[in-house]
Structure 1
Amino acid sequence: MPRVQPTTPDGLADAVVERVLAHPGRTRVLLDGPPPTGPEELAARVAERLRVAGRAALVVSAQDFLRPASVRLERGRTDPDSFLDGWLDVGALCRELLRPAAPEGSGRVLPRLWNPATDRSYRADYEALPASGVVLLAGALLLGRGLPADVSVHLHMGATALERRLPPDEHWTLAAHARYEAERHPDETADVVALSDHPARPALRA
């Protein structure tokens, strides 16, 4: 049975930073978890520590790489299968962010692509990621879909806790999260797994 070590949000960030610092060149990190687990908040904590350690860090939200509404909502606004398999623009993430951020990549990365609120391009400028820079991609349902990464983190929240913490108007996504856990096994593939039923009191799983 896996060992579980209680920690804090800061302790979790330190554990992720330790993993990242083991990679001296450009490093791509996936921070995966349903919204109530706070993957973007974790990414911000990790980025702050990396900068103190002398590593440039770029936090990117997966929400800024969704497909246009005409594509992702083709089967309706509340289709859980489309939410799992069709909302994220995997091709654009690989092409514009993760492949250029590889150790052998160009370092020319796009921090955000599509604004889901306006359903228009952000028209963001490309940024130059230095040779020791780190990209932190944060969001939900990221693992098991071929996104290239050097370090992966999964924030696990059980079904009961997720139902309790998600806003009622997002409960239609519960089936997608359940499929994700059952079919893509993020607990088994991530380098770092944190049990996050209570995000203020996470526990690292060995």
Structure 2
Amino acid sequence: MGDGVTNRTGTRTAIVDAAAWLLHAGGPSAVTTRGVAERAGVQAPTIYRLFGDKDGLLEAVAEQVLTTFVQDKAAAAAAATAADVDPLDDLRASWRRQIEFGLANPAVFRLLSDPERASDSPAARTGRRILETRVHRLAAAGRLRVPEPHAVDLIHAAGVGTVQTLLATPPERQDPALADAMIDAVLGRILTDPPAEPPDGPRATAVALRALAPRLGVLSDAERHLLVEWLDRVSGRPT
């Protein structure tokens, strides 16, 4: 039984790898059942049995490519935290990697830009949690002037929009400074420079303390809950 599972897993991996190669080389139209079967060394019915249809195969390919990228992002985030890298530098580096990934993998990016696919993608959800971690580090450093969820939404939306815009623009007309300009615009909206100047001072302090609230062990659960409620009110975070 174990050999059967191993063979099935190996066959599935071979098919996904073959489809990923074709997708990268020629886009979704290049991922034909015949082409994948020939490259993977399997019969066409095997593809239908494992993936249902071409759309199912493309989703599996997109998930695999994104999973590999997200694993690298997670490792980079952990390393940055361990080395106490400036959270803003870490966020900028992550932004650049995200834009580069989208431009280097247009077919995968377009597949996962579909809201329904993105919501069903474990890798996409993990990627968002990594972004939340990076934004949380900014909040804990007292750098945010907006609630953490709002900052995450702005950065995510800006990233998707930047890649979509660049992919829709002919290469000769692409603005190489667009990605940097976009993240600068978003950071200008969500960040405050220390020391904070009124009226952002109380909000930035509230956001920073809100990020640290779960670690305030001297408070009871009820006290922490009440503190979080107050801080959310000061920072303007929806409750």
Structures share fold, TM-score greater than 0.5: no
Structure 1 or 2: larger helix share? Answer: 2
Bigger-Rg structure (1/2): 2
Structure 1 or 2: larger strand share? Answer: 1
Query: TM-score, normalization: structure 1?
Result: 0.29
Which structure's relative contact order is higher, taking Cα pairs within 8 Å and 6+ residues apart?
1
Query: TM-score, normalization: structure 2?
Result: 0.26
